[in-house]
Structure 1
Amino acid sequence: MANNNSLVVQQAQAAINQLKYEVAQELGIQLSPTGYNGNLATRDAGAIGGNITRRLVQIAEQNLSSFKR
């Protein structure tokens, strides 16, 4: 099965990674500097992902509101 998670803008990967580390730090969750986080609790991973999604929605809403007349 093909991976449908390919990025449209390749530079977005660095921004998403930066956001992941910022959110984890704010939540007090320690991420591995090697990039492997297989020992991360599901609850912590979900908290990080949920907060990233919340921020991305806020950013999109702000960008969309600037286009309104």
Structure 2
Amino acid sequence: MARSRKPVNPNAQKALDQLKLEVANELGLKDYQNRYKGALTSADNGRVGGHMVRRMIEAQENKFTGQ
């Protein structure tokens, strides 16, 4: 069965988009929201996604350890 790319919670998409913008700004990719993503390198787009995943994992680890 193919995996859906949609978040389980429909409201989660807004939070993911916000996280993506925060990470892009931290990485120096200004005006990321209004930019055509095809003009960015795959390394830049991958860097944003990779940092998002790291943050989400860190948040879950902190949640489980009670920090």
TM-score (norm 2): 0.82
2:62 corresponds to 1:62 = yes
User: Aligned partners of 2:27 and 2:6: how far apart in 1?
Assistant: 28
Point out the structure with max Rg over C-alpha.
Answer: 1
**Bigger share in helix:** 2
What is the aligned-residue RMSD (CA, Å)?
1.9
Aligned positions, number: 65
Moved over 3 A (4+): none
TM-score (norm 1): 0.80
Any stretches of 5+ residues in structure 2 without a counterpart?
none
Any stretches of 5+ residues in structure 1 without a counterpart?
none
Q: What whole-Å deviation, never above 9, does each CA across 1:8-31 have from its counterpart, x for those lacking one?
A: 111110010001011000000131
Identity of aligned residues (%): 38
